[in-house]
Amino acid sequence: MVRIRAFEDAAEAASQGGVNAFGKAADGTARVRGPLHLSTGQEAVPAGVCAHLRPADYLTSTHRGHGHTLAKGADPVRMMCELFGKASGYNGGKGGSMHIADFSVGMLGANGVVAAGLPIAVGAAHAQLLQQREGLTACFFGDGAINRGPFLESLNWARVYGLPVLFVCEDNRWSATTPSGPMTAGDGASARAASLDIPSVQVDGNDVLAVARAAGQLVAQVRAGSGPHLLHAITYRVKGHVSVDPAAYRDPAELAAALRHDPIARARAAWLALPGAEAARLDAIEREAADEVRRAVAAADAAPWPEAASAFTDVQTTGAGQWR
């Protein structure tokens, strides 16, 4: 969780051209290329879920996917290089924040289209089933995605074919600049999953221990061949929709209340309540994460830009004009 928080804080500063503990560009310009959607305050969900995933398991993410990517084991240096548009980034500097993928750890990709990761996850899980491969697919999506067609289609397909999917609704209660509640009929993701005969569990998404317990039980059931399950994690998006969005449309009292339930602070308090627990151990973990991210920022700053010729690679052919 602290690695994710440190990464997001550094990326936020770099996208704004500002300064924090991770530094700034010499001329104060923004170093992150393209939009940046932060997952600050939501760290307990990816940490609690991915603690139960194996390298052979797949994961699909959202446009707010840095936390999922880090929790699945991706390299923060290559991630930061991608955000900076550098050649050594995961996508050669071409994809940016919303398209990071690392197949070597089962991370099939973030996605800039709301709900688009759902059918990709179902396709990956169906492949796992047909190929009789060990492993499952964890599919992260936001509360805004449940009002889009791919949500229903994907859950229906997964249930009909009994696919090994753990759907994870990361319910941060905001869809871009609109509160999700008034725009969502019924009781949300859990109720809609139940209507398709998919077992679901709702959990406090800011309590990493609760997320880990619930996810552990659901992952075990999916691995045992019981088909798709859904985890509905209630969390909160403490930042704006993108890193340069001050979120002036939000009631400050609502944000203040949410900050009192910060998942890292709650996990720290839970640890310190244990007999013999020492704050020094947690302090060391936080310093290690901050140092790791500082190194990633420095590496991204020093990394080379892509060659101009690389703009003509990774381009899909349309059949040399035959489509016409």
- pLDDT tens for each residue of 234-272: 999 999 999 999 999 999 999 999 999 999 999 999 999
For residues 294 and 300, what is the distance between their CA atoms, to the nearest angstrom?
10
Are 41 and 240 within 8 A, CB to CB? no
Length in residues, the chain = 324
- According to the model, what pLDDT value does residue 83 have? 97
DSSP 185-240: -TT-HHHHHHHTT--EEEEETT-HHHHHHHHHHHHHHHHTT---EEEEEE----S-
In 3-state terms, the chain is what percent helix, strand and coil (to 5)? 45, 10, 45
- According to the model, what pLDDT value does residue 323 have? 58
Q: Which amino acid is at 137?
A: T
Label residue 23 exposed, middle or buried (CB < 10 Å: 0-12, 13-18, 19+).
middle
Backbone angles phi, psi at 213, to 5 degrees: -65, -50
Output the CATH code of domain 2-303.
Answer: 3.40.50.970
As a whole number of Å, the CA-based R_g of the chain is: 20
Are 213 and 201 within 8 A, CB to CB? no
For residues 192 and 156, what is the distance between their CA atoms, to the nearest angstrom?
11
> Residue 316 corresponds to which tokens in the numbers above?
């899909």
Question: Residues of the chain whose pLDDT is less than 50?
Answer: 21, 23
Bridge partners of residue 259, in order along the sequence:
none
Coil vs helix vs strand at 280: helix
Would the pTM of this model clear 0.75, i.e. be above it?
A: yes
Residue in 48, 52, 54, 99 with CA at minimum distance from that of residue 78: 99
Bridge partners of residue 234, in order along the sequence:
171, 204
Residue in 36, 43, 35 with CA at minimum distance from that of residue 10: 36
- According to the model, what pLDDT value does residue 130 have? 97
The tokens 């489509």 sit on which residue? 323
- According to the model, what pLDDT value does residue 30 have? 83
- According to the model, what pLDDT value does residue 137 have? 98
For residues 121 and 101, what is the distance between their CA atoms, to the nearest angstrom?
13
∠203-207-211 over CA atoms, to 5°?
Answer: 50
